[in-house]
Structure formats: structure tokens, C-alpha cells
Structure 1
């Protein structure tokens, strides 16, 4: 798993905050890891520069999930670098269970950080609780609407991006059997599933999509087990929307590919060919969490925070889509078909379902 260079608070400040907020040891360990790696990152302070401090709390998938949380952290790091901010102006705390959400969010808020991110729909209740208890704090959340005047909510049309992934899968399957592996069953993951199935059916009505839910975003072993079952049933392409659980799908595909089986995985959230290789990654359904984190963070720095508002990003807003690297694995005629469907969705000629259709 790729190691990321992290930037954080001083050990003394974090340790004191952990005591005050009652944060668990695992979250403190995540921040300490960020401290150690941040000290190795190139660059220096800019003396006297007025800055902002922006913190991020992961869900249980962890900051190195090769997917959702990692994309958010990369976006925050890019924001810091692009704006010439000190390394210590961004930081994350890692949650290992839902019991960490409120303490981790509270730590940033009580320490006076300018913006605190909650990454993932599972943090909605915690964000709501902390926002109401701290009305002067600025908080943002990905993937869930939280109704509070000091919270900005960012949602995505995952179904639109997944539709394009389904077009690729439906066009390229040889067995007419395609798999979907979900993490926790929820509206967000259902949108991935619904769009993917609709895309497959739009180009290949004879293809069958077999869906499996693992119930977890942080269990690669369950992902590998689910993928083994799907490939065993004849699926030649599997699309996981399951955080680091999806790593197991890639591991299973890699094992089978080494034995000569012609199987593929469609990545999620990030361009996962950069992590797992183009030999097993057919394409990826990208969800540009990194860009959303950058944009809202910049708004805070510029004094334009949109508390109480909901922003929704789809194909028209370039919030979802397939990566440029798809041209290396997907034939040109299939990509032309993808572009055709994309324009129809943007022009509202096609309405992509948000729930799987019978």
C-alpha cells in the first residue's frame, strides 16, 4: 500500500488535545504517524504568513484505503502545497470504529482549527452532534447531507460515474457475467450499484450482474472471498465499491490472472490502476473527493465557506467519471460509446437510476 507524506500538529499539542477530547489511542496513533511522515516532507515554513488550519477525520476505512479516504487526504495535501501553506496547516485523525468519530471531530474543533472534514456518510450523526455543540465551528462532510448552518455537505452522483463503468463492462465482458461487490449497504453504495447495472444493460441487455455485499469497508479478506465466489460463477469483470475491502477483489484477480484466467477489476473513487496495475484494472469509476476537499478548503481560506448548503457533483460538474488511463486498457470504440452516453446524461437525455432496477 502506498505511503503518503503527511503533515500534522506537534506531538505535544496533539497529545494534550487527545486527553481533552477523550480520543482513543488508535486515532492518536494515526496522527502520530502523520507527524513522523510530515517531518520528512520537502518544503518549509513561510514566516509571518497568515494561514488556515484544516483537519480531516477518516471513517473506519482509514487514510491508506487506496480509495475514498486516501483521495480526500491527497486533496487536502494538494490544497496545502498549491497555496504555499505551512506543512502543519493540514492534519488527519484516523478512526478505527464509529466510537472515534465524535472525539476526533471534537479534537480539531476545540483546538480552533478553521475547518474540520468528516469523510464519509457514516460520520453524519457525529458531524451533526459536534456541529450543534459548537455553532461557531466550520465543518464539512462528504457523502451525506447534514442540516446545520455551520456544515457544508458535499454529495456525488455516483450512479452517473458508475453508469460509464457499466458501459465498459457490458461492452467488454466475454462471459456475459459481471460482478458487483458492495461494502456497507447504504444509499451511496446503492447508487454505485444502480448506475453500474444500468450502464451494463444499456449496451448489453443479455449480460447478468451479480451483486454481493460484504457489510464492511475495511475487510480486504471479505472482498477477496466475495470476488472468488463471483469469478467462480463465471464473472470475468468485477466492480467493487467497498473502500479497502475492494483491495481483496484486486488481490483475487491478481491471483487468477497469474494462473492464466482472463479476469478484470473496475476500480472505484481513485484511478486504481496506479495502485494495482493496468494488467488487472480495466478502468476506474472515479469520484473526485480530492477536488471537492480542495475546493471547500479554498473557500474557507478565502472567507467564502458555504455553511448550511449542499453541493452535488455529477458528470456535468466533472465530479465523477473515468480516468485518462482507460485508453490504455479499453478499446477506442468502447471509449467513444462511453463519451456518447456521458453527453446524453449531461444533456439530461438519459436519467440514471439511484436504486437498482428490477
Structure 2
């Protein structure tokens, strides 16, 4: 009898240890890596929260170039990770190839829709969030001119530009809007070129400049600070990079998507397929103007909230092209 009891206890302990085994999550970060105070940092924030609250283990890699993405994705899949996360549209083909080869592995694709049964695709309404910061730019410009600095010119980054321009011109249709794309070999991690592009726009009269360029945007903010104009951050809260210079940031809540997806997986309820996150869903928005409430002023902030409410309830529809 004693042997049976000991044997049963051993089995129970083994099952308990197995059940307590943490989920393994692997993430391939976008070009620029951690420290971009933008897209990658937001995704990493979601992982930290999942580790602290859900007890998961995670590993991250920072590819030197997009050419390495597929290799890292395959390494995670080969190691039988519970969830493999790809951050950014540049990984679309790599994810499609690897997810097809590993149908038993769950993937989260951020920024692009991939129609595979083991892939959750999270797509954001960047045009809506950009519209909101465009409204702030339209309310704050003194020269009736605003600027946009993007990384690689493609349909995704164009959504930021188009939404921003519509927001500014919703406030005043006569506002001029400049746009430039960084291009080059590392368009999302080139602060020097970002600063050069911003200085060029400032010389043309732009006094509020918004960027969607990852680490390149740190150069945008530096140029705005140097010339005494305003900048608008993106993806993560960049307001503290240069308090008072950065009016607000267009928050793209990648951290929320990462955390919620891991939670779904832990609860055996992962929702694959396409999920779209707009302003109404809390996927995109602005910061709380921690450093600029007084600079913008109560009247303009009230006007902003009025316009935002119209966007949420559908009175305003942002065109993505």
C-alpha cells in the first residue's frame, strides 16, 4: 500500500511540474531592435508584462537585416516554441514560409494579414491614429505647414502619412503638408538621415513634424528640438524623449496585442485569423499630453477631444489612401 501511495504521489508531482511548465515565446524584432523607443520597445513591453503576470519565458532576437528573419523564425519553430512572434511587415514572406512548414506552431504576425490557420494577424488602423495626431498638428502649427518623415515608402507607412495629412487639414484645409521617406540601407534606424530630412522640411516652413520611422525618428525629434519647433512621436510614448518638444505620440499598442495573444494561448483560446485594431478598439491613439497640456492649452485640447469623439462614433471616416 505504501508503495502505491508513493507511486501516486510521484505521478501527481510529475503532472504538476508538467502543468506548471511556462509557455515559451520567441520574438523576432523589427529592424532597429530594442531601444528604438518605438515599435520594438512596445512589443517588448508586452512580453515583459506577460512574463510578470502570466509566467511565460521568452527570448528575443534583433536581426541585423531582414535577410536574417526567416532563419530566426525557423530556429524558434525547430525548438518547438509555443508562440513565435514576427514584428513588422518586412517579415511577411518569411512568416508565410515558416508557418506553412510548421503547422503545429502558433505564430503572431504584426502588421500584415497572412491567411494560414496557425497565424494570428494583428493589423492596426494607423491612419486613424495618425489622423488624431494630425489634428494636434493642425491646431498647433503657426506657419500653416506640417511635415511627415517616413521610413520605407510602402502602403503601410503611407497610411501614417495620409492619415496625418487628413487630420491636419480637417482643422484647416489650407494647411500645407510635406512628406519625405528616409529610404537608404537602414530606413528605420538612421537618426542622422532622419535629422537631415527634418531640417529640410523645417527650412520649407514646417513647424510640426510627425515621423513613422522607428529609430530614425530620434533624429527627427533632435532636429525639432534644435530648431525650436514641434515633433510628434510614434508607436510608443516618445513624449519624454524631449519633453515639450514632442507634443504627443501616436500610440500603436503592439504591447497590448502581444500580451493578449499570449494570454489567449495560455487559456487555450488563441484567436487566429485577422484582427483589426483602430481607435475605437483601443489599438491606436495618443498619449495623455503629460508634458504639453499647458503648451497646447485647454481650448485646443477640448477641440481635439470633440474631433476624436466624432472619429470614434463614425462621423469622421479616415481614407487610407
TM over 0.5, yes or no? Answer: yes
Q: How far has the Cα of 1:71 moved from its partner?
A: 0.6
Q: TM-score, normalised by structure 2?
A: 0.90
Helix, strand or coil at the partner of 2:74: helix
Instruction: Determine the structure 1 residue equivalent to 2:163.
Output: 195
Q: How far has the Cα of 1:199 moved from its partner?
A: 0.5
What is the rounded CA distance, in whole Å, between the counterparts of 1:139 and 1:328 in structure 2? 44
1:51 paired with 2:22, answer: yes
- Please, which of 147, 153, 161 is the counterpart of residue 121 of structure 2? 153
In terms of mean alpha carbon deviation, does 154-163 or 276-285 score higher?
276-285
1:291 paired with 2:238, answer: no
Helix, strand or coil at the partner of 1:297: helix
- Please, which of 266, 272, 275 is the counterpart of residue 301 of structure 1? 266
Instruction: Determine the structure 2 residue equivalent to 1:243.
Output: 214
Helix, strand or coil at the partner of 2:146: strand
Instruction: Report if aligned partners of 1:265, 1:280 keep a CA contact under 8 Å in 2.
Output: yes
Helix, strand or coil at the partner of 2:296: coil
List gaps (5 residues or longer) in structure 1. Answer: 1-46, 257-261
Instruction: Report if aligned partners of 1:59, 1:96 keep a CA contact under 8 Å in 2.
Output: no
Instruction: Determine the structure 1 residue equivalent to 2:31.
Output: 60
Helix, strand or coil at the partner of 2:233: strand
What is the rounded CA distance, in whole Å, between the counterparts of 2:258 and 2:161 in structure 1? 24
Q: How far has the Cα of 1:252 moved from its partner?
A: 1.4
What's the Cα RMSD here?
1.5
Instruction: Determine the structure 1 residue equivalent to 2:275.
Output: 311
What is the rounded CA distance, in whole Å, between the counterparts of 1:55 and 1:329 in structure 2? 42
What is the rounded CA distance, in whole Å, between the counterparts of 2:298 and 2:88 in structure 1? 35
1:218 paired with 2:189, answer: yes
Q: Deviations over 1:59-118 (max 9, x none)?
A: 2121221100111011111111122x16xx011011111111101111111111100000
Q: How far has the Cα of 1:280 moved from its partner?
A: 1.2
What is the rounded CA distance, in whole Å, between the counterparts of 1:187 and 1:237 in structure 2? 23
What is the rounded CA distance, in whole Å, between the counterparts of 1:105 and 1:114 in structure 2? 12
Structure-to-structure mapping, 1:106-121, within 5 angstroms: 106-121=74-89
What is the rounded CA distance, in whole Å, between the counterparts of 1:82 and 1:333 in structure 2? 40
Q: Deviations over 1:94-147 (max 9, x none)?
A: 111111110111111111110000000110100000001111111111100011
Q: TM-score, normalised by structure 1?
A: 0.81
Instruction: Determine the structure 2 residue equivalent to 1:340.
Output: 306
List gaps (5 residues or longer) in structure 2. Answer: 1-16
**Equivalent residues, number:** 300
Instruction: Report if aligned partners of 2:37, 2:237 keep a CA contact under 8 Å in 1.
Output: no
